[in-house]
Amino acid sequence: MGVISRKNNQINCVYASNTDFGKQLEGYLKASDKDILMINITETMPTPTQWQELSRELNKPIEELLDLSQVENIEKSSDFDANDYVTVLENNPKALKGAIIINGSKTEHISTVTKVLNYFNVDSAGIEKNMHSEKPDIDKSTENNNFI
């Protein structure tokens, strides 16, 4: 059993609010009808143990979650271990690529905000489906409608 809370009726989101991605993501999540727990790493940093758990759940090393180009005075060829990368992240939250979404037993690293829609049970951006057997409405509904 891990140290991160996992509920099927709640979406946990680990993100950095000081990035363009984080600002967009926050808007998407707040617009949903789901219970949301926003974990903004610029304010509340997960513990090294929690980062290790996330890394294990995502099946990728911590360094793959980071954009080292966002960090000054660091070389991509630097030889760091997992704890060093957590320290880099603690000092440079903006280096987190995308966000980590946790919903029940599912954990996903997303890099586009539209991927979060997968957790909202939205069908075609909320547009109602019509049975393909229904005939389209082609009747004039206003005086200015002109049909060809």
Residues in Cβ contact with 65 at an 8 Å cutoff, skipping those fewer than 6 apart:
54, 55, 58, 89, 96, 97, 100, 109
- Neighbouring residues of 84: CB distance < 8 A, sequence distance ≥ 6: none
pLDDT confidence tier of residue 20, bands split at 50, 70 and 90: confident
Range 10-119: architecture per CATH: 3-Layer(aba) Sandwich (3.40)
Q: In the chain, what are the domain boundaries?
A: 10-119
Q: What whole-number distance in Å separates Cα of residue 74 and Cα of residue 89?
A: 12
| Range from 100-104, 119-123, 126-130 that averages highest in pLDDT | 100-104
Q: Which of 74-78, 82-86, 139-143 reaches the highest mean pLDDT?
A: 82-86
The reply to whether the predicted model has a pTM over 0.85 is: no
Query: Beta-strand (E) ranges in the chain?
Result: 10-15, 35-40, 99-103, 106-110
pLDDT-derived band of residue 65, with 50, 70 and 90 as boundaries?
very high
- Whole-angstrom Cα distance, residue 94 to residue 71? 8
Confidence of residue 34 (pLDDT cuts 50, 70, 90): confident
Can you list the positions of beta strands (E) in 80-137? 99-103, 106-110
Angstrom distance (rounded) from CA 32 to CA 140: 36
Answer yes or no: is pLDDT of 105 > 90. no
User: Chain-centre distance of CA 109, in angstroms?
Assistant: 7
